[in-house]
Amino acid sequence: MMNPKAANIGWRKVASISLLAFVLGFMLVLQIRTVSPAYKEMISQQSDTDRAAYLLKLYNNVIDLREQVGNLSTQINSYKTGQDDTAKLLHDVNDMQAQNGAVAVAGPGVTVEINGEATMFDLQDLINELRNAGAEAIALNGKRIMLRTVIGGDGSSGYVSIDGEPVHGPYKLEAVGSPSDLQTALERKGGLKQLLENKQGLTVKVARSEKITLPRNTVDYTMTYAKPAIPTPKPNGTN
Contact 108, 198 (CB under 8 A): no
pLDDT at 29: 52
Neighbouring CB atoms inside 10 A of 149's CB total 18
- Please identify every stretch of the chain with a pLDDT value under 50, giving residue numbers as ranges: 1-2, 5-7, 9, 23, 30-39, 42-43
Q: Domain ranges for the chain, please list them.
A: 4-99, 105-214
> Which contacts (CB < 8 Å, 24+ apart) does range 152-157 have?
152/120, 153/119, 153/120, 154/120, 155/119, 155/120, 155/121, 156/119, 157/117, 157/119
E strands present in 44-168: 105-115, 137-140, 143-145, 151-153, 160-162, 165-167
pLDDT at 141: 96
Report the top-level CATH class of 105-214. alpha beta
pLDDT at 227: 81
| DSSP states along 75-107 | HHHHHHHHHHHHHHHHHHHHHHHHHTTSS-EEE
pLDDT at 194: 93
Identity of the amino acid at 209:
S
Dist CA 21 CA 28 (whole Å):
10
Question: Phi then psi for 228, rounded to 5 degrees?
Answer: -60, 130
Name the strand (E) or helix (H) holding 71: helix 48-99
Dist CA 235 CA 220 (whole Å):
39
pLDDT at 166: 92
Nearest to 216, CA basis, from 102, 95, 109: 102
Identity of the amino acid at 165:
E
Dist CA 31 CA 61 (whole Å):
8
pLDDT at 195: 92
